[in-house]
Structures are given as C-alpha cells and as structure tokens.
C-alpha cells in the first residue's frame, strides 16, 4: 500500500473479501486489511523504553491497580522480575491475529486506552498478562500457566473479565445477573434499583416477573387496582437504557414470565412491531418460563387455565415461581379461591411462533426439564439474558424502609469458555480445564457485589461458575466432519464428557485446598453419589475411528475413574455449586478465530454490522478449500441437527446452553421432510414443531430465533454456489 492510502483502506480491503473473483473467495484481501490495520494501530500505541517505564506510567496514571502488582512485587514496583518473566513467556508464543475482525474487535472493544482515547496502552499480549496476573491472585505458578492458556487461546475469559482484569477504572468481572421480584411495591422498587446498579457495574440483568399479580388484581383488597407486569417492564427498560458500564457496554435486560400467568398475552404483545408505544418495549428482551403441563395441553387441546399469582401465593404461602405448576395444575384449577382465566394453549403457541418470526423473541425456558436434572437443593425459576444460567434462587423478605428482613439469594454469572480447537492440542487436557476452573474461582471469590446484597450472598454461599466452550463447528470442519452427523455427535459427547469430569476433579481439588464446600452440599446429588450413576454403567467407547484418533491424546474417564471420583466427592465435596454453562460467545469467538458456541457458522463470510464503521466481513475460521465443504451454514441445516448437538452436550452440563435457531424466510427445498412440496417459506407451524422437538430431546432452554431474509440483488460469496478459495 502507498502512503496515499487513508485510514479507511483496511475497511475497503476487508469489504472486497465479500465479492467473489472468478468464482473464488478472495481471502487475501482480509489478510491485507489485517496488515494495514495493525500498521495503523501501531502508530496509535503509546511506546515506552522498557517494561519498568511502562508499568510505572500505568500505575502513576491510575490505569492499572497497584494492589494487583503488589502481589507479585512485594510492594516494590521496581522489583518486576516475575512480571518480566511472564512477559517473556507470553512473547515467546509469537501470537498473531488471524483475521481483520479479530484484531478490530480486540482494539475497538478490549484494549486499554488513555483517558482522552487518543492512544492505546496495550496490545493483546499486555491484556493476556494483566488477565493472568489478576486471575492467579498472587500465585506465580498459576499466573505462568494461565498466561500460556490465554495466549494459546485454549481458555478465554468472558468479556467483562477479559476487558476489566487489572484495570484501575473498571466495571465488575461478571457477565450478567439474575434477580427475583416478589409481589410487592417494596420488592419492585428494590428490584428497579438493583437493575440500575447491576447494569452500571457489569452487564446483562435477568428479572423474574412471574410472582407479580396480574392486571386487575386487588391491592389492599380494592379490586381492579393492579396494573400488572407491563408498567414494571417499562420501568426496567428505561433503567437499562440509562445505566451502562462507563459507556463501554450498553445496559441490557431480559424479563421472564411464566406462561400460566394471566398477563401472558399482554406480555408478548409488547414486542410486536405494531404495538402501542405506551406498552411497546424496544430493547428489553422477553423470556417465557414453560412447564411440562403446557406441552401436554397443546397435545391434548384441553382448555388452559392461567392463575393469578396474588391468589396462588395466599393459598400456598410462597411466591408463584416456587410452585410446581405441572404437579399442582389440577389442584390449582379446582381451587375456588384462586382467580383463573381460560385460554386455548394452541392459540398461545401460535402467538409465540408469530412473535418469534417477527422479533426473535421470546426465549423459552423449559422449567421442569431444568429442575428435573438440577443436582443441587432448591428450585430454578428463571434464566439470564442469554438463557444459559440455570441456578436455584431463594426469595427475600423486605421491611417497609426497603431494608432486608431476610436476604434471599440471587445470581451472578462468572463465565469463561474453552476453545475446542485449541483444547484438542493441549498437552494436558485435564490441567487446562483445572486452570480454567481456577481462573473462574478467582472471579467468584474476589468479586463482591455490595450494591445488591442478594447477589452478594448467593455468590458467597455457592461459588458458582459457568465454564463453557466455543468452536465446535470449526473443530469439526478442520477434521472433515459434517455438523450434526453421527461422527459430530460422538465428538460432542466425548468433549463434554471430558469437560464435566475434569471440571469436577478440579472443583473437588479446590474444595480440599480451601477446606470448604458450597453451602448445602450435603443436600445435593453429588453428596449422595446419585449424580454419578449415569457414568457408572459402561465405559465410553468410540464408534468412529476418526473421532477416536482426534481424542487419542485425551484420557476419557473410565467407569473406574468415575467410581473413584464419586467416592472422593462424597467424602470431601466440591467447591462450586454450579460449574458448566454454554454462553453464546459473541465477540470473544472472533478474537479466538473460532466459531461461536456450539452453533454452525451463519455465513461463509459473515457480514457483521459494527457501530460507526458499518459492515465488516469475517470469513469462517480456517476457511480453505480443505474446509469449505464442511462449513454448511446454520440457515441451511435442518435445525433438528442443532438441537441434537445441544442435547448430546446437555447430558454433561449442570446448567444450560444458549441455543439459537436459524431460519430462512425461504427454506431450501427438501430441508424438512414435513414440508409440503414447493412450500419453502417459514411457517409458525415449523417453529411449533421445533420447540416441541427441543423439549422432547431434553433441551432446557431456547435462546433467540434468527431469521435471514436474502437480498437477491446483492452479490456476495454467500451467493456463490461453487466458490473456491
């Protein structure tokens, strides 16, 4: 490139990637865009003569926490010998970004800048060092090991941790929060304040509205006084819009409502495009809590009764969310003291599908499935902004001055992900998992959310974490395995079996070291040993030689290994009440040069809309003539293959997974055998079938429904039917 090129050259080059040349995908443009971008970034990085000068500058100007460095320097910032060794080790791996998107995402979203935003103060290597120092919490050996895991991209902390670790001016390290509201103005007021504070310091907030009395309910025995859940939704949306994390991350929230709540139809109507502006919510996400009884009523076409939480709580002496609707349904119907409304379940099902077609919402939480497989004491009542966190909560009781008469327990999400592609290359898979668990343990042990006592209490009692994975489709493509095939399902089964075993092993080891288990461990299925029964019948055996060869360097636990772990856990306990969850892995998957979560890729060359700059094009990770045939996109796959993949992984995961479904407005002919010949448009009936299929397969939650509408006039590599590289 010549000196005449402008700052925008790299965007132009990157956009050229999306235009096929003689039937070929011109990947070289992305590499050239990356080179030009890094040259431009290099001119914006504040340079220092040596490490001492750099560290002292960062401390003096309040960019880095001196207290963190003191753990490794004995309080003397001139003694940087260990930090120097850590930098040397990280540098030795010679890390390079593999795509323009990866570099752009890092420098636009994660890299620390001067207060005036004119200069970058760190590279990817620096961010890795500060993450390793923070997550090791003074343990030099662990810091060295974590630095290797991070720079080799085997483990990736979630965005809040990766963004904030080591920084003086920062938000919290946790990804999201879940809070429960009780049926009182005191709880609603406290909840709105909690939403404001949590959005300010961290990120996404899930709020349970199922306990709130429905519209027209009595207030102080005055009939038709309550306005129901909709005004509370508007208050929450305004709170999230106002409060964000230092302007770096927009506030975001989701509200969950049980399908048996009388406000269910009004709740869904808030997301319709033609909804009245007085009730419409634009940025708030919606989630439904769906008991098994709902699916039964759809199947039998019996009348569906909705129950007013106001009356249910008075009859059962506990909030609506803590009632097992499936178990109690007939008694609720027969109880004359409970106000109820009759609707048709199939009509509600159609309404849900129509809204998912239109907006992608609501999320679906199959609450009985989640609770049936819950290994610990308590009831799961809701989920989070990405629908993968499934942990029990307990309600609070408030005094009239909003102080706590009894502090319940709410949830913070301490997340991180393994990169499947790189984990398969680990010299010691079990140790890599242990280091990831230890990193997450530091987050849960050091983060105290004082602003919301219920979240703080839950974190202190249960030490919950959510270790997940990303890069499944990339790993499959690199090994010439088609997504959703029997080989792919066996691959998925083996990986998550190993992830579960080694994370349990690590949690047991940490419990021994700390001399502590999670609260009420003795009332869990870990304590009585029944959790392990599913693994004590047969050894895992590979049916595919190809998959067996891929896992040849990873020891998969035998029945004897599980027996030994069962005995050890029953004797000593584990430290974390919850360990595993599969997040959607948005931005961090780009930086890791791998496919997001367990989903198929969405396009061979993804068109990502970025604020301020417009379109950035991202080729599928490791896209080549060798992998292109194995990169069938999510919109061109029978969605049951995605559900099957998640169902296999779910067997080994104690929490949930962010399972997105991808639908074209025009479906490829023959993709679903239930489609009438020539009927290629997406219908509500298709979504009904898929949701019921997911429930039957044991899926705990469905995240978002993404619909892709093609522009027939737009030329792109995704239109190129026989593209090569």
Higher pLDDT, 715 or 141: 141
Q: Please, what's the b/e burial string for 368-384 (b: 16 or more CB within 10 A of its CB; e: otherwise)?
A: bbbbebbebbbbbbbbb
Please say if 315 is a catalytic residue: no
Please say if 723 is a catalytic residue: no
93-to-125, 150, 620 alpha-carbon distances in Å: 10, 11, 24
Q: Which of 164, 308, 374, 386 is catalytic?
A: 386
Q: Which of 384, 414, 422, 585 is catalytic?
A: 384
Kindly state the DSSP code that residue 715 receives in the 8-state scheme: -
Please say if 384 is a catalytic residue: yes
Would you place residue 2 in the very low, low, confident or very high pLDDT band (cuts 50, 70, 90)?
very low
Query: Can you tell me the mean pLDDT for 166-173?
Result: 89
Report residue 353 as tokens: 């599908």
Find the length of the chain: 725
Would you place residue 676 in the very low, low, confident or very high pLDDT band (cuts 50, 70, 90)?
low
Residue 520: count of CB within 10 angstroms of its CB: 15
Report the percentage of the chain scoring pLDDT > 70: 93
Contacts of 110 (CB under 8 A, 6+ apart): 127, 159, 162, 163, 591
| Residue with token string 């010691």 | 428
Helical (H) or strand (E) element with 195: helix 185-201
Residue range 627-645, pLDDT digits in tens: 999 999 999 999 999 999 9
| Span of 97-101, 212-216, 436-440, 551-555 with lowest mean pLDDT | 212-216
Query: Can you tell me the mean pLDDT for 418-426?
Result: 98
pLDDT tops 60 at residue 715: no
Q: Which of 122, 237, 388, 490 is catalytic?
A: 388
Higher pLDDT, 219 or 213: 213
Report residue 274 as tokens: 């033609």
Kindly state the DSSP code that residue 575 receives in the 8-state scheme: S
pLDDT tops 60 at residue 313: yes
| Residue with token string 């709105």 | 192
Report residue 692 as tokens: 């019921």
Calculate the average pLDDT of the chain.
92
pLDDT at residue 5, as a whole number: 46
The torsion of the CA quartet 559, 563, 564, 567, rounded to 10 degrees, works out to 170
pLDDT at residue 111, as a whole number: 97
Query: SS3 letters for 325-378?
Result: HHHHHHHHHHCCCCCEEEEEHHHHHHHHHHHHHHHCCCEEEEHHHHHHCCCCCC
Kindly state the DSSP code that residue 256 receives in the 8-state scheme: E
- Rounded CA separation 513/395 (Å): 32
pLDDT at residue 248, as a whole number: 54
Residue range 553-564, pLDDT digits in tens: 999 999 999 999
Query: Can you tell me the mean pLDDT for 564-570?
Result: 98
């Amino acid at each position: 490139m010549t000196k005449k090129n402008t700052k925008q050259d790299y965007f132009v080059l990157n956009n050229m990637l999306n235009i096929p040349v003689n039937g070929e995908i011109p990947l070289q443009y992305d590499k050239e865009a990356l080179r030009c971008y890094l040259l431009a970034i290099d001119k914006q990085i504040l340079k220092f003569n040596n490490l001492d000068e750099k560290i002292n500058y960062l401390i003096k100007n309040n960019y880095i926490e001196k207290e963190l460095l003191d753990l490794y320097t004995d309080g003397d910032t001139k003694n940087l010998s260990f930090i120097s060794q850590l930098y040397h080790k990280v540098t030795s791996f010679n890390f390079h970004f593999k795509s323009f998107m990866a570099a752009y995402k890092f420098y636009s979203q994660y890299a620390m800048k001067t207060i005036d935003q004119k200069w970058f103060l760190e590279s990817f290597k620096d961010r890795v060092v500060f993450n390793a120092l923070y997550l090791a919490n003074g343990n030099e050996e662990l810091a060295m090991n974590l630095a290797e895991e991070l720079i080799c991209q085997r483990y990736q902390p979630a965005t809040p941790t990766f963004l904030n670790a080591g920084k003086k001016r920062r938000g919290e390290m946790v990804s999201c929060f879940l809070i429960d509201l009780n049926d009182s103005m005191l709880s609603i007021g406290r909840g709105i304040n909690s939403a404001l504070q949590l959005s300010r310091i961290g990120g996404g907030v899930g709020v349970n509205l199922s306990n709130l009395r429905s519209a027209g309910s009595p207030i102080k025995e005055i009939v038709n006084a309550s306005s129901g859940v909709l005004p509370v939704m508007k208050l929450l949306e305004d709170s999230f819009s106002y409060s964000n994390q230092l302007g770096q991350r927009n506030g975001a929230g989701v509200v969950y409502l049980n399908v048996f709540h009388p406000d269910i139809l009004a709740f869904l109507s808030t997301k319709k495009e033609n909804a009245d502006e007085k009730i419409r919510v634009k940025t708030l996400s919606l989630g439904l809590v769906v008991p098994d009884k709902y699916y039964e009523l759809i199947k039998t076409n019996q009348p569906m009764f909705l129950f007013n939480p106001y009356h249910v709580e008075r009859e059962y002496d506990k909030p609506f969310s803590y009632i097992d609707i499936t178990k109690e349904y007939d008694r609720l119907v027969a109880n004359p003291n409970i106000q109820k409304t009759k609707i048709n379940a199939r009509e509600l099902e159609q309404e849900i599908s129509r809204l998912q077609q239109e907006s992608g919402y609501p999320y679906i939480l199959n609450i009985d499935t989640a609770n049936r497989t819950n290994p610990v004491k308590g009831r799961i009542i809701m989920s989070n902004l990405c629908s993968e966190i499934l942990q029990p909560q307990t309600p609070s009781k408030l005094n009239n001055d909003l102080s706590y008469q009894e502090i319940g327990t709410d949830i913070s999400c301490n997340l991180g992900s393994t990169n499947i592609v790189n984990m398969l290359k680990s010299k010691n898979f079990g140790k890599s998992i242990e280091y990831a668990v230890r990193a997450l343990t530091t987050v849960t042990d050091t983060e105290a959310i004082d602003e919301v006592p219920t979240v703080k209490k839950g974190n202190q009692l249960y030490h919950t974490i959510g270790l997940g994975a990303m890069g499944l489709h990339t790993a499959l493509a690199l090994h010439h395995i088609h997504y959703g095939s029997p080989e792919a399902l066996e691959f998925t089964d083996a990986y998550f079996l190993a992830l579960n075993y080694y994370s349990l092993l690590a949690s047991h080891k940490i419990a021994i070291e700390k001399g502590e288990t999670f609260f009420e461990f003795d009332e869990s299925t870990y304590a009585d040993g029944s959790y392990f029964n599913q693994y004590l019948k047969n050894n895992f055996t590979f049916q595919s030689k190809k998959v067996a060869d891929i896992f040849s360097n990873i020891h998969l636990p035998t029945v004897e290994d599980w027996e030994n772990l069962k005995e050890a856990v029953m004797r000593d306990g584990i430290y974390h009440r919850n360990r595993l969850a599969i997040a959607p892995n948005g931005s961090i998957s780009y930086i890791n040069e791998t496919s997001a979560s367990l989903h198929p890729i969405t396009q061979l060359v993804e068109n990502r809309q970025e604020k301020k700059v417009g379109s950035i094009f991202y080729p599928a990770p490791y896209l080549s003539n060798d992998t292109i045939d194995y990169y069938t996109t999510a919109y061109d796959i029978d969605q049951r293959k995605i559900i099957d993949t998640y169902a296999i992984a779910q067997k080994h995961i104690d929490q949930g997974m962010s399972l997105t479904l991808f639908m074209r407005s025009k479906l490829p002919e023959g993709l679903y055998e239930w489609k009438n010949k020539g009927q290629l448009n997406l219908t509500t009936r298709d979504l009904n079938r898929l949701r019921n299929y997911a429930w039957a397969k044991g899926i705990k939650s469905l995240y978002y429904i993404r619909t892709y509408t093609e522009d027939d006039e737009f030329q792109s590599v995704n239109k190129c039917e026989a593209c090569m590289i």
